[in-house]
A and B are shown apart, each in its own frame.
Chain A
Amino acid sequence: MAQADNPSQPREDAAEFACLLRQHHTQLLGYIHSLVRDLEDAEDLFQQATLILWKKFSAFDRQRSFLAWGCGVARLEVSNYIRARCRNRLYFSDDLNSLLIDAQLDFGRDEFESRQEALRECMHKLRERDRELLKTCYGIIRGVAEAVQATGRSAQSIHNSLRRIRRALFECIQRTLNQDFQPEVIG
Chain B
Amino acid sequence: MNPIPEELRDLIDEYLGGEMEAPRFDRLQTWLRDDPWARAYFVRYGQMQSQLYIDMRADRAADRALSRIWELAGEGSPEDSVAAEIAALQAEADSPAALVWAATHRQLFEKHLHARPMDQRVAQARVAVEPNLSAWCFDPTAEVIRAVLENPRLGAIHARLIAAQHRTVAGLEALGARPALTNDPGVRRALLQNPLLPPGLYRRLWSTRRLLDQYLVATSREATEQVRTMARDLLRTTFNQRTGEERVELILTSEGRCLATLTGVTLDSYATALLCRRTFISTLLIQNLARWSAAPPPLIAHLLRQEVVKRNASLRQLLERHPNAS
**Chains A and B come from one and the same complex:** yes
Interface membership of B54, Cβ < 8 A: yes
Asked whether A107 lies within 8 Å of B43 as measured between CB atoms, the reply is: yes
Interface residue ranges, B against A (CB under 8 Å): 1-4, 6, 9, 13, 15-20, 22, 25, 29, 32-33, 36, 39-57, 59-60, 93-94, 185, 189, 193, 216, 219, 221-222, 224-225, 257
A136-187: which have CB < 8 Å to B? 138-140, 159, 162-163, 166-167, 169-170, 173, 179-182, 184-185
Q: Give Cα A93 to B41, complex, Å.
A: 18
Nearest B residue to A141 via CB reads: B57
Q: List 28 A–B pairs whose Cβ atoms lie within 8 Å, in order of A's numbering.
A: A26-B51, A26-B54, A30-B50, A34-B47, A37-B17, A38-B18, A39-B53, A62-B216, A90-B20, A90-B22, A96-B33, A99-B39, A100-B39, A107-B40, A109-B222, A123-B55, A135-B56, A135-B59, A138-B57, A140-B60, A163-B13, A166-B48, A167-B9, A169-B52, A170-B44, A182-B2, A184-B3, A185-B6
Asked whether B33 lies within 8 Å of A65 as measured between CB atoms, the reply is: no
Q: Identify A179's interface contact among B1, B19, B221, B257, CB under 8 A.
A: B1
Given contacts A30-B50, A138-B53, 14 further A-B contacts (CB under 8 A): A23-B193, A30-B46, A30-B51, A33-B49, A37-B18, A106-B40, A107-B47, A112-B47, A119-B48, A135-B60, A159-B17, A166-B45, A169-B48, A170-B45
Asked whether A66 lies within 8 Å of B56 as measured between CB atoms, the reply is: no
Asked whether B25 lies within 8 Å of A66 as measured between CB atoms, the reply is: no
Asked whether B94 lies within 8 Å of A18 as measured between CB atoms, the reply is: yes
Q: Give Cα A181 to B93, complex, Å.
A: 38
Asked whether B189 lies within 8 Å of A138 as measured between CB atoms, the reply is: no
A1-40: which have CB < 8 Å to B? 15, 18-24, 26-27, 29-30, 33-34, 37-39
Interface membership of A86, Cβ < 8 A: no
Q: Given A138-B57, A185-B3, A96–B17 Cβ distance below 8 Å?
A: no
Asked whether A107 lies within 8 Å of B60 as measured between CB atoms, the reply is: no
A71-101: which have CB < 8 Å to B? 89-90, 92-93, 95-96, 99-100
Asked whether B40 lies within 8 Å of A159 as measured between CB atoms, the reply is: no
Q: Give Cα A116 to B48, complex, Å.
A: 8
Which residues on the A side are within 8 Å of B40 (C-beta)? Answer: 103, 106-107
Q: Identify A29's interface contact among B16, B54, B59, B216, CB under 8 A.
A: B54
Asked whether B46 lies within 8 Å of A63 as measured between CB atoms, the reply is: no
Which residues on the B side are within 8 Å of A22 (C-beta)? Answer: 94, 189
Which residues on the B side are within 8 Å of A119 (C-beta)? Answer: 48, 51-52, 55
Interface membership of A55, Cβ < 8 A: no
Interface membership of A52, Cβ < 8 A: no
Q: Give Cα A166 to B20, complex, Å.
A: 17
Which residues on the A side are within 8 Å of B50 (C-beta)? Answer: 26, 29-30, 33-34, 39, 42
Q: Give Cα A170 to B41, complex, Å.
A: 10
Which residues on the A side are within 8 Å of B93 (C-beta)? Answer: 18
Q: Identify B43's interface contact among A42, A100, A116, CB under 8 A.
A: A100
Which residues on the A side are within 8 Å of B51 (C-beta)? Answer: 26, 30, 115-116, 119
Asked whether B52 lies within 8 Å of A103 as measured between CB atoms, the reply is: no
Which residues on the A side are within 8 Å of B36 (C-beta)? Answer: 103
Interface membership of A120, Cβ < 8 A: yes
Q: Identify B222's interface contact among A23, A29, A92, A116, CB under 8 A.
A: A23
Smallest beta-carbon distance B250→chain A, Å: 13
Q: Give Cα A185 to B8, complex, Å.
A: 12
Which residues on the B side are within 8 Å of A128 (C-beta)? Answer: none
Asked whether A185 lies within 8 Å of B29 as measured between CB atoms, the reply is: no
Q: Identify A37's interface contact among B1, B6, B15, B221, CB under 8 A.
A: B15
